[in-house]
Chain A
C-alpha cells in the first residue's frame, strides 16, 4: 500500500486525537521512531495496533519506559505506543482481594490505593513505584518479595490484551481460582509485548502484614552468609525477603562494612515476627555475627540502589544450592572489571550483577564466560539493562534450547506473523 508518512500521521491522529501523536518520537535504542502515540482508552490503543498492522508498521509498546533497555534493539520502530495514558484503576474488590487496572497504572499509584485497605500487590522489581503494572507483567520483573509471594506469574489472574491485528481479547478470569480454558495470562507474562499488547490486568492481592521487621547480619565471608541463608530456607521460618549483599552492595546501601551481609525480613503478626527474628539472632550468633534491626526505610534504599547502580545490570540464574560456587565463578569471569555490585535473591538462586562504566566488548566477554559457567546448571544470564552497543554485540537473552525455541517461534508466527509487535527484541530474534 502506498500511503505517505504524512497521511499515516493523520490516520493515527484520527484515532487518538492530534494531542495524542508526537512526531518524530525519541529513538528507541538508537532506532529512529516515527511517531509517539498516546492513546487514552483501550479501544484507541487497539485502533492504533490495527492500523499499524494493516500498514505494516512496527509497534513498540511501552509503559513507564523503565525497561526499554531489556532485550535486543528492535529491528524497526514506527510507532512507540505509550500506554501511560491508560492509568485507571478500574476495580478494587477488597473483600475478594482482587483489583483490575489498566496497563499504564504505576505500581506506586496502585500501592497507595490499596494501602488504605491494608492490601498490597506484592511485587517490588527495582524502581517498582514508578513502573507500570503492564510493564512489570510484560517483562516479568521481580524483586526481593518474590521469596514469599512469587512473581507476576503467580498474581495475574486475567488479562485483556490487544492482538497484533488489533483484536481485543480476554484471557483468564476475574476470580482468584479458575482453570477454565488455557492459562493465557501465563503466556503473556514475560512475553515483552511480542505476542500482544497488554491492556488491562486483573490481579490477586495480599494482605499487608501487620508488622514487618528487617534484620541485617554482617558476615565474615560469602560462604558463611550463604550457609546462614540455606539454614533459613531449610527451616520453618517464613521470610518475606532474603537478600545477600556483597561488600560493594553494603557500601552502596550505607550498611556497615563487611565481606558480605544478609538482610532478611519477616512480615506477620507481631509475636511471630519477633519470634522469627530471635531465631535469626541465634543462628547469626552461632556464626559469630551480630544482628542489627533495620528501620523501615531500608528497602527503599535497597530498591533505589538496585534501580540505579551500574551501567549494565545482569541477571544470573543458577541452582540455588550452587550459589557459592557460582559467585566465585562470577568474580573470576569479571576479571579486572571494576565497579561491580553483586546482590542475590538466595532462595531462588538469582544473582544481580551491576557493572559500572566498562567497554561493551569487555562486558560482552564477561556475559559469554558467565553463560558457559551456568550452562552446567541449566542456568541463564540475561542483560536486564545496558548500552545498546553491548546488546548488539552479545545476545541479551542467551541461548534457548532449540525444541523450545521452535515452539516459541511457532507462537510468534501464529499470533504475530507480520512481526508488528516489538520485532527482534525477544529471544532467538523473536
Chain B
C-alpha cells in the first residue's frame, strides 16, 4: 500500500466512504483496461460525483506527489486506464449526467462518465445524434472518448471525437479548474480544447464536455459487396473515393474474419469470399440513392462476387451484424490475439495487405483483418496461442514489423485507439526527437509535476525528459559575430 494514512484520510473526507475503494479485491477490478497485457492496480480508487471533489483529489495527490490515473468505462485498448506506478485512480463512472441538451445551438453538455450511446439515445427523438461511434459506444464513456480522441466506423464522413468537442471543463495537473472553449465559436486565444482532446489524462481530469450534436440524416443506404480478394476490394475502395463521394462508413473484412463470422452468427457472407466491403451512405435521400447505385455499380465493375443493398432497417442491421460481431468472432479462430490500430494512406491498402500476408507467413501466424478501409485505418488481429510463450514472442515481433511497414508507407502508429502504455513506445517510429521533445514540453505546461497519468502517451526517451536539447540550425560563420 503506497498511500500515506493522511492521503487516504483526505480522500475519504472528499468522496466519503462510499466513494473510496481500498481493498485488494476492489482495486483489482481496476488493474487493467481491455488491453489486458498491461496490469497495474492503483493504491486507491476514488469515485467523485462533483467537479470540486475532483479538484480536491488532484490537490491532495499533488501535495503528496501521488500519481493520478483517470478512468471511464475501462474499455480502452491501449493500457491507458491502469496504474503502472500505483497511485490514485479517479473513476468517472458516477459523473454520468447529461447536464444540458441544447438543440437550437446544436450542442449538449455532459459529464465525462456518460455512456456514449446514451447521449444519442437522449436526443434521437428530436432529430439529433452524437456522431463519434466507437465500436464500444454501448459501454464506453464520453470522457474516455475525449481522452483517447476515439474514432469509429462513421468517422470517415463525420470526423473523430475532436471534431465534435466544443469545450471542456478540466482540472489540470496544477489543480486548477479551467473552462476551455464552450458553446460559442471562434474564441480568442489558443485552441486549448483541441490540444486537450486526445491527451489521455496527461493534462488533467475532464469534468464536463460540451459536444456538438449532428442532425440525423434524411436517409441511409447500406451496400455489402463480396470480393475474391482484399486487393480487389481495396481497389474498389479507391474507385469509390475517386468518384467523388465520401461514404459515412467504408469497412472491410478479410477471409479469416468472414469464415469466423459465418461459422458463428451466420451473417451469411458468401463462402469463398476473400473480402467483404460494407459501404454506408447517409445524407439527403436523393444523394444516397444516386451514390448508392454508383457504389454498387463500382463494386460490380471491380469483379464483386455479390452485391446486396439493404432496403429496410432490418436488412441494414443484418448487413452490419457481422461487422459488429467481428471482434467476438475472432474467438473462434484463436485463444488470444494482438490488436493493431495502424494507419496507411488509403492508396497503399493493397500494398500493406500484401505485406501483411508475407509477415504472417514469415512468423507462421494467422492475421485476421477487419478495418476502416475508407481512411486506411487497419485493425489486424495477430492470432497466437497463449499457452505457447514462443508464439506470443513471434506475435510481438510480427506486430512491430507491421507497424514499421505502415510507417514506411507514410502512415501512423495509431488511428483511433490512442497511445497509452502500449503505443507510446512506438512514437519514435513516427516522430523525430525534436517532435517528441515538443510534445513533452507541451505536457509540462499542463502538468508540471508529471503526476497526471504518468508513463502514458509519451515514450521513455531522452527527448521526453529534462535537459534534452534538439539540434538547432547551423548558422553561417562570419565576421559578424
Contact = CB atoms under 8 A, between A and B. Distances in A.
Interface of A: 3, 7-8, 10-11, 14-15, 43, 46-47, 50-51, 54, 93-98, 118, 140, 142, 150, 153-154, 163, 165-171, 173-184, 186-187, 189-191, 195, 206-210, 230, 233-238, 268-269, 271-272, 274-276, 315, 317-321, 347-350, 374, 377-380, 382, 397-398, 400-401, 403-408, 410-411, 414-415, 426-428
Given A153-B191, A380-B184, A380-B187, A179 B418 contact: yes
A245 to B, nearest CB: 19
B195 A183 contact: yes
A180 B162 CA distance: 13
Task: Kindly name the residue among B238, B242, B472 whose own CB sees the greatest number of chain A CB atoms within 10 A.
Answer: B472
A234 B103 contact: yes
Interface string B171-213: 0100011111011111111111011011100000000000000
A382 to B, nearest CB: 6
B479 A176 contact: no
Contacts of B416: 177, 179
A411 B445 contact: yes
A421 B427 CA distance: 29
B481 interface: yes
A238 B284 contact: yes
A398 B187 CA distance: 10
A63 B436 CA distance: 28
Interface of B: 102-106, 127, 148-149, 151, 155, 159-160, 162-163, 172, 176-180, 182-192, 194-195, 197-199, 215-218, 238, 241-242, 244-246, 283-287, 289-291, 343-347, 372, 375-377, 410-419, 423, 426-427, 430-432, 434-436, 438-439, 441-446, 457-458, 470-473, 475-476, 478-481
Chain A interface helix/strand/loop/mixed: mixed
B290 A272 contact: yes
Contact of B172 (A208, A230, A274, A407): A407
Given A181-B419, A187-B190, A403-B178, A379 B284 contact: no
A97 B178 CA distance: 37
A398 B188 contact: yes
A414 B441 contact: yes
- Across chains A and B, which 10 residue pairs bring their CB atoms closest together, nearest first? A186-B194, A321-B104, A236-B218, A178-B412, A272-B287, A7-B480, A95-B347, A207-B244, A272-B286, A397-B188
Given A166-B473, A234-B215, A272-B286, A186 B195 contact: yes
A234 B197 contact: no
Given A181-B457, A236-B216, A380-B186, A173 B343 contact: yes
Contacts of B372: 177
Contacts of B103: 234
A361 B291 CA distance: 56
A382 B199 contact: no
Contacts of A414: 441-442, 444-445
A176 B376 contact: yes
Given A180-B412, A236-B217, A414-B444, A406 B472 contact: no
Contacts of B431: 170, 180-181
A292 to B, nearest CB: 22
B444 A407 contact: no
Contacts of B478: 10-11, 14
Task: Kindly name the residue among B187, B197, B246 whose own CB sees the greatest number of chain A CB atoms within 10 A.
Answer: B187
Contacts of A382: 186, 188
16 contacts: A14-B478, A140-B191, A183-B194, A183-B198, A184-B442, A187-B190, A187-B191, A207-B245, A238-B284, A269-B287, A271-B286, A275-B286, A349-B105, A407-B172, A407-B178, A407-B446
B470 A178 contact: no
Nearest to B431: A181
Nearest to A204: B159
Contacts of B446: 407
Nearest to A210: B244
A183 B149 contact: yes
Contacts of B470: 167, 169
A374 B180 CA distance: 17
A93 B347 contact: yes
B188 A97 contact: no
Contacts of B195: 182-184, 186-187
A427 B180 contact: no
Contacts of A406: 176
A320 B106 contact: yes
Given A207-B244, A348-B185, A411-B445, A401 B179 contact: yes
Nearest to A54: B475
B127 A234 contact: yes
B185 A173 contact: no
A182 B411 CA distance: 16
Task: Kindly name the residue among B197, B238, B246, B284 whose own CB sees the greatest number of chain A CB atoms within 10 A.
Answer: B284
Contacts of B176: 403, 406
Contacts of B155: 177
Given A118-B244, A180-B412, A11 B475 contact: yes
Given A165-B472, A170-B435, A404 B244 contact: no
B220 to A, nearest CB: 11
Contacts of A51: 475
Task: Kindly name the residue among A169, A170, A178, A208 whose own CB sees the greatest number of chain B CB atoms within 10 A.
Answer: A178
Given A186-B162, A207-B244, A403-B177, A10 B480 contact: yes
Contacts of A236: 127, 215-218, 284
Contact of B190 (A154, A190, A207): A190
Contacts of A195: 190
A410 B189 CA distance: 13
Contacts of A269: 286-287, 290-291
Contacts of B432: 169-170
A70 to B, nearest CB: 11
Given A189-B191, A405-B189, A180 B430 contact: yes
B423 A180 contact: yes
A175 B343 contact: yes
Nearest to B446: A407
A389 B280 CA distance: 55
